[in-house]
Amino acid sequence: MKGDCETISRLMEEKVRLEQRSVMLDRLLFEVSRKFPCETRFDTALRYIREAEARANETGQAQSAVPNSMLSGTSAG
């Protein structure tokens, strides 16, 4: 019974974490006010990010590519 309660608790925590990430992704996608034809909002957002990263790399303005929080598997927000 104790194992079941621990499993349920872990699953509930994971559900909350996934819901938070979903909200973050929605916020990011809806910053795309105008998607391009034949692209989803996700595709347009991804293209914007890649283009901005490429420009930053060309001008030497890029910082760390992967925040420390991403390396450890935790989220800062």
Q: Give the CA angle between residues 46, 49, 63 to the nearest 5°.
A: 140
pLDDT > 60? residue 70: no
The reply to whether the predicted model has a pTM over 0.75 is: no
Domain boundaries, the chain: 2-59
Sequence-distant (≥ 6) Cβ neighbours of residue 17 within 8 angstroms: 75
Give residue 58's pLDDT band: very low, low, confident or very high (50, 70, 90): confident
